[in-house]
Structure 1
Amino acid sequence: MTAFTTVTLEVPDPAAASAFYDAFGLSPYLSLRAAQSPTDGFRGFALSLVVSQPGDVDAFVAAALDAGATTLKPAAKSFWGYGAVVRAPDGAICKIASSAKKDTAPVARRIGQVALLLGVADVKASKRFYTGRGLAVARSFGGKYVEFATPSSAVTLALYPRRALAKDAGVPQEGSGSHRLVMGGDAGPFTDPDGAICKIASSAKKDTAPVARRIGQVALLLGVADVKASKRFYTGRGLAVARSFGGKYVEFATPSSAVTLALYPRRALAKDAGVPQEGSGSHRLVMGGDAGPFTDPDGFVWEPASA
């Protein structure tokens, strides 16, 4: 499966589910079809919506509840930001979250990212299974989290431990029967080790359009001596965290830039690049933002964005 392209939910009432996801704002990201198999308890996946600020979270939650969803976790602040979890009328779990802790713009129901989070028994084994079918890994943190590169889909595909995903959603991890979830790609059909079904998304076996050099994402990876200390430095200057994995990786929300900013341990970044970590002198890199000018703990220079 060199490409992950579609997400289909199997629902008891496709017309009712369509009305719900239209009202909620997820319709552009999903396909629906009638459920054929029984299910009970946690279905082993969640849909994650990342938005810009707490007011946007509240707006999506209100829309979901008005359309018939139920609350699993009410909106609340946490260490990483602000979020809530709801259950759609068809049973699908939806998490709405923002790394920001206060509003900085008028409230708007705009989705920054949608991720399909699969709760799996063994993250490392499932990673091997999917990479063996052609998916490229975008981020990997041992047995805790794996995110795949999905340039052909508006939805990101990621793996979590099943127990951790259920806990994050506020539900028991037990469940049986169908996941009521079908993913589409170009190497199916197959069923993964946890029972998630992947189907063939296209019958084409050759290119049907001109080859194009299209970039899905550009990230600036800063190799730093202490990821946690650099994270504190940057959040202290107003940057909001989009993803954080302890001292291994931090990614910031950068809605005003076409480039994502992230922190890696310097040694790990050099190893990943295939070069020695030693270096001296200028970084020959200048970043622009609205809190500059300053130099960060690793010598990276920021200047005012208007400069």
Structure 2
Amino acid sequence: MNAIDAITLEVADPEAAARFYSAAFGLDSSRVRLRACETPTSGFRGFTLSLVASQPGNVDALFTAAVDAGASVVRPAAKSLWGYGGVVQAPDGTIWQLATSKKKDTGPVTRDFDELVLLLGVEDVKASKRFYAEQGLAVAKSFGGKYVEFDTGSGAVKLSLYKRRGLAKVAGVPADGTGSHRLVLSGPSRPFSDPDGFVWETEPART
């Protein structure tokens, strides 16, 4: 396994969620899929999704579009030591970080973004790093037991690991949560669940 082909968000109303993601971020089922699910979940689901843009203006455009489409503001967009960004929560409950490492605009403002990144909040970063390495994912960056970034090549989604409580703090939400992650990942490998209960399904072969 060396890529994530797509992610599936399990939501109460797939049609409403599809309208939101199209209006807010211009996302379709090529990267973010939706399916109906009523499995109980509460609090922090243990992951965030990030859209990484090239400049602050794009972050603002994405942020505004998300709020206009029905998202709630978790953390207003603002400058920080690492760049510029904010956090919103989609109507289905998924937390989205909208960010850039740049602090000034260098071109026309659009809603374009460069990367879609999945950050999994895990209890033991080192153990999860070993687990995913055994599944075939190569480590691109690693900072001890705090953060790991994998090389997912040309996959539609980038994958990183973060300490669960640290990820919740970055997102601006309490770390407590119970029930389903409401997230399923698709890749070319065999089906499995990781140490924190995140589920992977095999991506069907394309004909």
The normalised TM-score by structure 1 is 0.64
1:98 shift after superposition: 1.1
Give distance in 1, aligned partners of 2:150 and 2:73.
Answer: 29
1:9 shift after superposition: 0.5
1:151 shift after superposition: 2.1
Give distance in 2, aligned partners of 1:72 and 1:150.
Answer: 29
1:3 shift after superposition: 3.6
Give distance in 2, aligned partners of 1:60 and 1:36.
Answer: 28
1:55 matched to which residue of 2? 57
1:142 shift after superposition: 1.4
Please list the CA deviations of residues 51-80 of structure 1 after superposition, one character each: whole Å capped at 9, or x if unmatched. Answer: 111111110000000100000000111111
- What amino acid does structure 2 have at the position aligned with 1:117? L
Give distance in 2, aligned partners of 1:3 and 1:58.
Answer: 29
Residue 86 of structure 2, aligned match among 75, 84, 87: 84
- What amino acid does structure 2 have at the position aligned with 1:21? Y
Give distance in 2, aligned partners of 1:152 and 1:33.
Answer: 25
Instruction: In structure 2, list runs of 5 or more residues that go unmatched.
Output: none
2:6 matched to which residue of 1? 6
2:108 matched to which residue of 1? 106
1:31 paired to 2:33: yes
- What amino acid does structure 2 have at the position aligned with 1:119? G
Asked if the contact 2:2–2:153 (Cα under 8 Å) also holds between the matched residues in 1, the reply is no
Question: Which of the pair has more CA radius of gyration?
Answer: 1
Asked if the contact 2:2–2:151 (Cα under 8 Å) also holds between the matched residues in 1, the reply is no
1:21 matched to which residue of 2? 21
Give distance in 2, aligned partners of 1:188 and 1:172.
Answer: 33
- What amino acid does structure 2 have at the position aligned with 1:16? A
2:48 matched to which residue of 1? 46
Asked if the contact 2:84–2:99 (Cα under 8 Å) also holds between the matched residues in 1, the reply is yes
- What amino acid does structure 2 have at the position aligned with 1:104? T
Asked if the contact 2:2–2:152 (Cα under 8 Å) also holds between the matched residues in 1, the reply is no
- What amino acid does structure 1 have at the position aligned with 2:165? R
1:29 shift after superposition: 2.3
Give distance in 2, aligned partners of 1:138 and 1:159.
Answer: 12
Please list the CA deviations of residues 160-187 of structure 1 after superposition, one character each: whole Å capped at 9, or x if unmatched. Answer: 0001100000000000000000001222
Give distance in 2, aligned partners of 1:104 and 1:133.
Answer: 40
Give distance in 1, aligned partners of 2:112 and 2:190.
Answer: 32
1:284 matched to which residue of 2? none
Give distance in 2, aligned partners of 1:132 and 1:97.
Answer: 31
What is the DSSP-based 3-state SS (H/G/I as helix, E as strand, rest coil) of the residue aligned with 1:4? coil
What is the DSSP-based 3-state SS (H/G/I as helix, E as strand, rest coil) of the residue aligned with 1:198? strand
Alignment CA distance shift 1:79-1:40 (3 Å) = same
Asked if the contact 2:7–2:185 (Cα under 8 Å) also holds between the matched residues in 1, the reply is yes
- What amino acid does structure 2 have at the position aligned with 1:40? S
Residue 193 of structure 2, aligned match among 191, 194, 197: 191
Alignment map for 1:209-228 (pairs within 5 Å): none
Alignment root-mean-square deviation, CA? 1.4
Alignment map for 1:115-264 (pairs within 5 Å): 115-202=117-204
Instruction: In structure 1, list runs of 5 or more residues that go unmatched.
Output: 209-307
Give distance in 2, aligned partners of 1:78 and 1:69.
Answer: 22
- What amino acid does structure 2 have at the position aligned with 1:129? F
Give distance in 2, aligned partners of 1:93 and 1:54.
Answer: 19
What is the DSSP-based 3-state SS (H/G/I as helix, E as strand, rest coil) of the residue aligned with 2:76? strand
Give distance in 2, aligned partners of 1:187 and 1:100.
Answer: 35
Number of aligned residue pairs: give it. 205
1:295 matched to which residue of 2? none
Deviates more, 1:83-92 or 1:132-141: 132-141
For CA contacts below 8 A with separation 6 or more, give which structure has more relative contact order: 2
Asked if the contact 2:85–2:100 (Cα under 8 Å) also holds between the matched residues in 1, the reply is yes
1:93 matched to which residue of 2? 95
- What amino acid does structure 1 have at the position aligned with 2:75? K
